[in-house]
Amino acid sequence: MSLDVPPALAEPVTRVRPWWIAALALANLGLFMGYLAPLQVLLPQQVAEVAPQSKEEALAWVAGIGALVAMVGNPIAGALSDRTTSRYGRRRPWMLAGGLLGGAALAFLAFQTSVVWIAAGWCLAQAALNSLQAAATAAVPDHVPVRQRGEVSGWIGIPQTLGVVLGVVLVTVVVTTTTSGYLLIAAIIPLLVLPFVLTAPDPRLPYKPKFTLASFWISPREHPDFFWAWITRFLMNLGNSVVLLYLLYFLQDAVGYERLFPGEQVADGLLLLILIYTAFAVLTTVTAGIVSDRLGRRKTLVTVSGVISALPALALAFWPEWTVVMIGAGVLGVGFGVYMSVDNALVTQVLPAADGRAKDLGVINIASSGPQVVAPVIAGPIVAGLGGYPVLFLTSALLALLGASLVWKIRGVP
């Protein structure tokens, strides 16, 4: 390592400790509870209450504009984090601010009774939570050596799936109203971020790196591996998003969950699916990360995960039955459990420069939030009249398979 490279920008070589991983995992748990509990339960319920005759269109509009804010906010927050010279470090101030403001935005959402103000509150939440995510994501290439990134990505990927389960349980079982659900998640987010903020090392940056608006553009010609990693993630997440947006309505209208199980609510079925999905994802994500570290074959595992993830969508296109849905949830858990850890490790190996890690990961994260903008444009017309749910699931499978194949365009990572 060159002596003139500050510790904040040096390539990490020392393995991180279990407590560091656990604290970052807790922060990610708060983050994804903040994202996914509203998206899976609270927003659909709230929108259905205020706009019952146009709930599909209204939900698509709210989710889409919120995702647009996320697309812009994540790289901007990342760039500001990269240039932060606080004595508390570059990442911790942004994680703390994102956690506090994200909780405040969800508390604001709890009391909104119109689609316009619901959208406004969700945009505020997305802006804050993406600031938290930008800083938390950059902590991995800041501190974790390449040979440990698959394992660490697996451990911090578990909260991404557990966040759905815990969030849905809290807002459907522990509390029973939309308002109390928002308020409970709002209180939990900053509490889960604090352990990392208070204990994790975060070297101070002694100077501000040069920054221009042009730096947000990363040339595919100069950095082709970064480009293909972005495309792969975008397609995989788009395949997932087009289905998840309408999953609650699919169970209600196509599967007929409440007709099959009188006395139960469709949210109960959704919770069961999430539990199945999470169990299989947790069983595979850390193992897949460790295997990719030891074999050094990240692209192969990404392709395998894409093929596995496409199978449930293909099945549900032809058999929209409750048994098939439950089996599909388990298979999808295996596929995305593998994908989360391996892809997160892969993208940290194609970043253009050390002094722009959070900004560049913010650009990568557009490939996660961007599909939430595009998905309503694709899924809405399909559900409304261009083939319905069968075509929607076939589209999802095609997108996953395309993403799984394009990962082989990456040359610099095995």
Domain boundaries, the chain: 16-200+219-409
Nearest to 137 by CA among 410, 351, 293: 351
Residue 3: the pLDDT is 53
Judge contact between 306 and 234, C-beta under 8 A: no
Residue 1: the pLDDT is 44
Q: Tokens 């902590």, residue? A: 139
Cα–Cα dist 270/173, whole Å? 13
The residue count of the chain comes to 414
User: Which pLDDT tens digits describe the chain residue by residue (414 residues)?
Assistant: 445 778 888 899 999 999 999 999 999 999 999 998 998 889 999 999 999 888 888 988 898 899 889 989 999 999 999 999 999 999 999 999 999 999 999 999 999 999 999 999 999 999 999 999 999 999 999 999 999 999 999 999 888 878 878 888 898 888 889 999 999 999 999 999 999 999 999 999 988 877 777 788 899 999 999 999 999 999 999 998 888 878 888 999 899 988 899 888 887 888 888 889 889 998 999 999 999 999 888 999 999 999 999 999 999 999 999 999 999 999 999 998 999 899 999 999 999 988 899 999 999 988 987 887 788 888 889 988 888 899 999 999 999 999 999 999 999 888
- The pTM assigned to this predicted structure is 0.84
State the burial class of residue 363 (Cβ atoms within 10 Å of its Cβ: 0-12, 13-18, 19+): buried
Cα–Cα dist 82/134, whole Å? 10
Tokens, residue 384: 């409304």
How is the chain split among helix, strand and coil, in percent rounded to 5?
80, 0, 20
Cα–Cα dist 384/249, whole Å? 12
Cα–Cα dist 65/69, whole Å? 6
Q: Tell me the torsion sign for CA atoms 354, 23, 92, 34.
A: positive
Other C-beta atoms lying within 10 Å of the C-beta of residue 270: 22
CA-CA distances (angstroms) from residue 66 to 38, 183, 266, 285, 368? Answer: 12, 19, 25, 28, 13
| Domain 16-200+219-409: CATH superfamily, name plus number | MFS general substrate transporter like domains (1.20.1250.20)
Residue 384: the pLDDT is 83
Judge contact between 396 and 409, C-beta under 8 A: no
Q: Tokens 């995510």, residue? A: 133
Coil, strand or helix at 410? coil
Q: Tokens 């850890």, residue? A: 341
Cα–Cα dist 314/391, whole Å? 10
How many CA within 13 A on the CB side of residue 170? Answer: 25
Residue 132: the pLDDT is 96
